[in-house]
Amino acid sequence: MKSKSTGSKKVRPGKKSPGNSKSAGSRKPEIRTEPGKISPATIQFLKGLKKNNNREWFHAHKDEYDAAATEFVGFVRVLIERLTKVDPTLSQVSPAECLFRIYRDVRFSSDKSPYKPHLSAFIAVGGRKSRYAGYYVHIQPGYNFMGGGVYHPEAEELESIRRAIASRGGELRKIINNQTFKKSFKEMEGDRLKRVPRAYSEDHPMADLICWKDFIVSRSIPDAILTKDLIGECIKHFKILKPFNVWLSRAVGEPSVRTAG
């Protein structure tokens, strides 16, 4: 699952002079909060990056980025540990395979900003490139959110999901119409076709679900929660998300619990 957009504001100065990028880059990242939490310093760094999205500023604040990145790895590690108790298929998933890089690929984009103003991870069997449904968290002051599902599936996976919907879509509809689910995630979002694919009848009872090209949901995270119990907030809603993910993963070929060795 990918990020949606951007957010913004002000910057906290680094401890070293902006011009001392070599020294800043060689410093060991400082530990600014306990694992599983996001510090105010990381939030300030992301605000500063949004306002100053250029290589000069980033290199001058490289020590701040390194500390923020280290902190986020710790957050994701704790989140995976807690989430594995909810979804055992994640037992051998590592933070490294789930994390998205902060560097943007600007080759084919009109937006030449070199960095993403957020930290994000997609937790699933196979990590961020997984074909399976997973759990996504996006940290960006003013635009934080969590969610999950299957985003932009490849043609084979998309057709597998559509066939599953055609044959047993009532199960999926029951999940997304559940009041507890709707309270957390409202409704599915993403891209969808205007017309039912040719392989399916226009009057198919699941036609509205078959038209989807993405199978994702999300909910916003208030800034105030970032430095408090963000892990707890994620687990609370990811428990509700699990049946949605389980249904989708089974549709593309259910992942099994991986064992070490």
pLDDT of residue 36: 80
Q: DSSP for 97-163?
A: HHBPPSB---TT-S----B-SSEEEEESTTGGG-SS-EEEEEE-TT-EEEEEEE-S--HHHHHHHHH
CB 225 within 8 A of CB 231: no
- pLDDT reading at 174 higher than 80: yes
C-beta neighbour count of 227 within 10 angstroms: 15
Q: Indicate the CATH number for domain 21-252.
A: 3.30.930
In terms of phi and psi (left: phi > 0; alpha: psi -120 to 50; beta: otherwise), the region of 129 is alpha
Mean pLDDT of the chain: 88
* More confident site: 24 or 197: 197
CB 104 within 8 A of CB 129: no
- pLDDT reading at 251 higher than 50: yes
pLDDT in tens, 112-154: 999 999 999 999 999 999 999 999 999 999 999 999 999 999 9
- pLDDT reading at 204 higher than 50: yes
Phi, psi of 67 (to 5 degrees): -65, -40
- pLDDT reading at 8 higher than 60: no
pLDDT of residue 7: 42
For residue 218, the one-letter residue type is S
pLDDT in tens, 29-71: 555 767 788 999 999 999 999 999 999 999 999 999 999 999 9
What is the H or E stretch that residue 221 is in? strand 215-221
List all residues 6 or more positions away from 46 whose beta carbon is below 8 Å from its beta carbon: 7, 68, 117, 118, 119, 139, 140, 141
The model's pTM is 0.85
Ranges of each domain in the chain? 21-252
What is the H or E stretch that residue 247 is in? helix 230-252
